[in-house]
Structure 1
Amino acid sequence: MKIGVISDLHIDRSKRYTPEDFERHLCNSVQSQRIDILLIAGDISNNYQLSAQFITTIKTKLQITVLFVPGNHDFWTQSGDLASLEILDYYMAMQECLIGQPYIVNDEWAIVGNTGWYDYSYADSRFSLERIEQRKYIGATWQDKERINWPIHDRKMSDIAVRQITKDIQQVADKKLILMTHIVTHNNFAVPMPHRIFDYFNAFIGTSDFDQIYDRYPIHYSIMGHVHFRNHFEEQGTTYICPCLGYERQWRTTDLAREITQSLYTFNI
């Protein structure tokens, strides 16, 4: 069985392509590679209805299993929108969302997923907790501060995510596991330090809370997004994959079809 994974499509951020273009090119790439299950690791768009519609549309077009976890951008709110926790409930009501709904592939494999959340542990140690909580540095603001209205502290959100994924894993503990998050769970994918601004903003890239998951459970593949890197590596029996498309200005070319194909990572189980 062939699994395809991609993240950080940001279908509403391109100046050159429409969301429908992203749908078409992603479907073409998935079909040409004969993928059986497509996994999307969040940041589809900045609007929960658009993100949900994108998932529904590509699933209908592809006629294969499509599963996702929302990213931080998928929780962004505007005036008149649902609150961020209500948006979480909206996603969890979708059968394609992995949060609270482990997916059993077959007798041997299962897929579990959660957005995860950042716990500030990836920031340079010279920044105090109080300084990080400002979420502003050198004139830049981490936009989740303005666009997400969790009633819970970020570090508590990370802890809740670990508790939820642990509960989900326990439902399929007899399987080999594919874990998908949006937030980075391995510091190899953090922006290398020293860095002019990411010594600070790495605080909002990843979490160390998931370390215990890798220690306790048979995670064979770990998929994540968020940081807009494309890379993969193997460590202690786990293949870590970051298959981000990213913003148009970060692409290597101006060709959406080519960029999606290059971002889409596949493996066989």
Structure 2
Amino acid sequence: MRLLTFSDLHVDHNSAALKADLIDHIAAYIRETAPDLVVVAGDMAGGSERCIRAIDAIERATGIPLAYIPGNHSVWTINKETDSWHEYEQLRAHRSSLIDRPILLPDDWVLIGDMGWYDYSFETERTREQVIKDRNLMWRDSVLARFGQDDDELCGRMVDKFAALLDRYRDKKIIFVNHFIPYLDYAPVSTHNKVWNMIRPFMGSSRIGDLLDASPQVRHVIFGHVHYRYGTRMRGDQQVICNPLGYVKEWRTQDPMTEIKNSASWIEI
């Protein structure tokens, strides 16, 4: 069985930048490579409705199922009358969602996942108060991701869900997917980029990484969010995939098919 993985496709933002529908290019690549399942680790688009429209369009154009977990953009609330839990539940209810619906795969494999979140555990110098001040000044989640609880509490809720899933499938071989970085070495301090250093606390959580490191049944880990293509690496016995498409302005070329191909990763079981 062949799984094709992506993250951070941002089809709304990128289609506007290209003045062309990025979904057409994504679907063309999927049809060409013919995976058994497509897995997207968050940020298909901004808000649940756009994500669902994009997922539906890709599945219609390819005939291949897609499994999805939200990213932070996925739960943004453009409509002030709703909150991010509404966006999360809209995505959870969609047929593509991995939230509370692991996918059993052949040969004792299982695909599990959920959104994840961040808890400032990647911060090494500033106080929590300073981090929160910077978040409110420059991080769009502070306005558009409205869960009614602080980031540490939300992240803890996700970690608890992950722990329960990992325990439930302790006798399986697990492919784990969330949107956020679980390992500090994927969010290093920069010697020249002050903005990056300010947003590092919002990249992920070491609590998620610690949980994965303590779970030998996890064989593959998929995430994105960082918009830097680390590709596929080994972490002990685990294969780690962080290979986001990111924004057009971050691409090395201006050719969508080249960038889609370069941001595609594969798992064969």
Paired residue type of 1:234: M
- Distance in 2, Cα, partners of 1:97 & 1:27: 19
**Which protein is richer in helix relative to its size?**
2
Q: Which moved more, 1:89-98 or 1:77-86?
A: 77-86
Name the counterpart of 2:18: 17
Equivalent in 159, 163, 168 of residue 160 of structure 2 = 163
* SS of equivalent to 1:178: strand
Paired residue type of 2:155: S
Residues 191 and 198 of structure 1 are in contact (CA less than 8 Å); yes or no, is this contact kept in structure 2? Answer: no
Residue ranges of structure 1 left out of the alignment (5+ in a row): none
Q: Could you say what the CA RMSD is over the residues aligned between the two structures, in angstroms? A: 1.7
Q: Are the structure 2 counterparts of residues 219 and 257 from structure 1 closer, same or farther at C-alpha, using a change threshold of 3 Å?
A: same
Deviation at 1:34, TM superposition (A): 2.2
Q: Deviations over 1:66-108 (max 9, x none)?
A: 1011100011112345210111111111121111111111242
Question: % of aligned pairs identical?
Answer: 26
* SS of equivalent to 1:28: helix
Residues 135 and 145 of structure 1 are in contact (CA less than 8 Å); yes or no, is this contact kept in structure 2? Answer: no
Residues 102 and 169 of structure 1 are in contact (CA less than 8 Å); yes or no, is this contact kept in structure 2? Answer: no
Name the counterpart of 1:198: 196
Name the counterpart of 1:265: 265
Q: Deviations over 1:132-181 (max 9, x none)?
A: 112349xx601100111111110111111111122223333321000001
Q: Any residues of structure 2 matched to 1:27-38 within 5 Å, and which?
A: 27-38=27-38
TM-score with structure 1 length normalisation? 0.92
- Distance in 1, Cα, partners of 2:206 & 2:135: 22
Residues 46 and 73 of structure 2 are in contact (CA less than 8 Å); yes or no, is this contact kept in structure 1? Answer: yes
Name the counterpart of 2:39: 39
Residues 47 and 87 of structure 2 are in contact (CA less than 8 Å); yes or no, is this contact kept in structure 1? Answer: no
- Distance in 2, Cα, partners of 1:65 & 1:136: 36
Name the counterpart of 1:229: 228
Name the counterpart of 2:173: 176
Residue ranges of structure 2 left out of the alignment (5+ in a row): none
Deviation at 1:119, TM superposition (A): 0.9
Q: Are the structure 2 counterparts of residues 160 and 87 from structure 1 closer, same or farther at C-alpha, using a change threshold of 3 Å?
A: same
- Distance in 2, Cα, partners of 1:61 & 1:171: 35
Whether 2:84 is the aligned partner of 1:84: answer yes
Whether 2:91 is the aligned partner of 1:94: answer no
- Distance in 1, Cα, partners of 2:148 & 2:245: 30
Q: Any residues of structure 2 matched to 1:118-129 within 5 Å, and which?
A: 118-123=118-123, 125-129=124-128
* SS of equivalent to 1:188: helix
Q: What number of residue pairs does the alignment pair up?
A: 265
Residues 18 and 248 of structure 2 are in contact (CA less than 8 Å); yes or no, is this contact kept in structure 1? Answer: no
* SS of equivalent to 2:111: strand
Residues 48 and 88 of structure 2 are in contact (CA less than 8 Å); yes or no, is this contact kept in structure 1? Answer: no
